[in-house]
Amino acid sequence: MFQKVRQMIKKEFLLFFMFHYNVYSQGEDINSVFYEREYYNNSNIVSTSNDNVELNLIFDKNLSLKSTFSHLLIDFTETQIAQNNENIQHQYLFDVGVAKKIKLGRQWNTELFFGPQIRSDLKNKLTSNNFFLNGRLLFEMINSSKKSSLKFGIEHGTLLGSPSFYPIFKYQYFVNSKLNFSIGFPETNILYNLNKKHSLKVLGEYDTYFTRFSNEIISQTMVNEIRYYESIFISKIKTSFTYNYHFYNGSVFHLSIGKSFDNNLKIKESNAESNFHYNNDVMISMGFKYNLNLKK
């Protein structure tokens, strides 16, 4: 198992410049470029690797821009499945999002986010199926002692599959200067700062990937039946333990190991739908967040 992971790392390490956006970004908000590579090594159905890079630009304390590009490699491990679905192994994502924070009072803030997005295999012409409109309205209430905060709101995106609205929330509590935790959806975590250079993070997260296809992408069954791909949806509950190393200039390196549960793959074709449930052996990710040191 670990030999296969080492082979994947050696084979794919040169794929460096890719992007990804997450509501709960790592570390404090700074002008930065963040790169991460994730491996999900599974013994059956499918393994995946993901290259993510995020550009974060903060124009002032209330206005920021996030740009994302990611490459998802879907490695079908069973021969029959791989033969039928080799056309959808490489998936790419690009978006540009703008977030605006508005102060509503001493203890209340709100945030508006709008992020048009393109998802494609880069093999065929872009159609309306490749474009998504993501958005979020988030309210934040900060406790008067500043030891806790509550964020809640509604988001439009593909977290639950096809584009839809769904609730998001996050309650964060600072136990002391070293320890804080947050409970929420889609992420819950505990963060412990050992000192200024080292910190540890335990995370649980509902993580998904959804994309639609244009009609040019075709599958062929074992009986030579021709079908058109319509969409693919990958969902899982991710748990991980992360070590962070903080550099003097605000840059951060992280190394994570974990496991995902309730792993599901849904491939929708014309007049057919395939559902797979599989086990994850191990999840490994490495990343680096570089502080651009730009003046705000």
* Total domains present in the chain: 1
Give the per-residue pLDDT at 215: 60
Q: Is residue 252 part of a domain?
A: no
Q: Looking up tokens 């080492």, which residue turns up?
A: 6
Residue 19 within any structural domain of the chain = yes
Q: What is the predicted pLDDT for the residue at 172?
A: 97
Q: Does residue 115 belong to any structural domain of this protein?
A: yes
> Does residue 130 lie within any of the structural domains?
yes
Higher-confidence residue of 216 and 66: namely: 66
Judge whether 294 lies within some domain: no
Decide if 234 is inside a domain.
Answer: yes
Q: How many helices (H) and strands (E) does the chain have?
A: 2, 16
The answer to the question of residue 51 being in a domain is yes
118 alpha-carbon distance from chain centroid: 15
Q: Which residues pair with 130 in a beta bridge?
A: none
Rounded-to-integer distance, Cα 46 and Cα 81, Å = 9
Domain that holds residue 45: 2-30+41-192+201-242+257-285
Q: Where is 74: in which H helix or E strand?
A: strand 63-76
Q: What pLDDT digit, counting tens, does each position of 222-251 carry?
A: 556 677 888 999 999 999 999 999 999 999
Tell me the two tokens of residue 142: 């900060």
Dihedral sign for Cα atoms in the order 267, 278, 77, 39: positive
Closest to 267 measured CA to CA, from 207, 211, 208: 211
In a domain, 292, yes or no: no
Q: Does position 6 have pLDDT exceeding 70, yes or no?
A: no
